[in-house]
Chain A
């Protein structure tokens, strides 16, 4: 069953270091994945996406890696900045975009000065 009310996993990194945030997804039929950033009091903000026919996708300072064998997704943020502090969620979609997303529980990224 689902765990409710647990604190989010927290990742604390030094400013300027690289961050790696991990996510295990549940549905082997999922064919599309998104990473979102959610700052306090705000809605999720799209960061980067990847389709299941890809293993890696790069954006500006961010890279997403997909390992379908073990159903694992990771988000790498290069040279983290104070503005990167937020909760990061992975989300999966198995309906070809025709239905809602299934979100993971999230990781709280804290940037130390």
Chain B
């Protein structure tokens, strides 16, 4: 039973490019949470999705960031026109439908570096 899978593990983008981060939840999990972690900081909540629905995006920057969790396939966090300040580790967590965040498991993260 594979855990939460994130890819790529490391991503380097030049300023102005687009970054796409993928998260495949654990088998049977239908809820996905995305978090951002700056160096020496705790994780900051970004967005909470269920299949085909965004439930809470209160932590997402209003511009350049978007997230989706389609019926089929992984959840995608998309950052357009990346800037140096987007450099961070991005983690996703998944949980079963009945568990909520209290039963969430985290992936290994994607480390985005903007050069």
**Min CB distance, A33 to chain B, in Å?**
10
A42 to B45 Cα, complex, angstroms: 17
B residues touching A (Cβ–Cβ < 8 Å)?
4, 33, 35, 38-46, 48, 55-56, 59, 91, 93, 99-109
A-B residue pair count with CB separations less than 8 angstroms: 71
Provide a sorted-by-A list of 5 A–B residue pairs whose CB atoms are within 8 angstroms. A42-B108, A43-B4, A89-B42, A93-B101, A100-B48
Among B43, B59, B100, the residue within 8 A (CB) of A44 is B43
> CA–CA, A4 to B33, complex, Å?
23
Flag if A43 contacts B107 (CB, 8 Å).
Answer: yes
Interface pair B35/A100, CB less than 8 Å apart: yes
Chain B residues within an 8 Å CB radius of A89: 42-43
Pair B40/A7 contact, Cβ less than 8 Å: yes
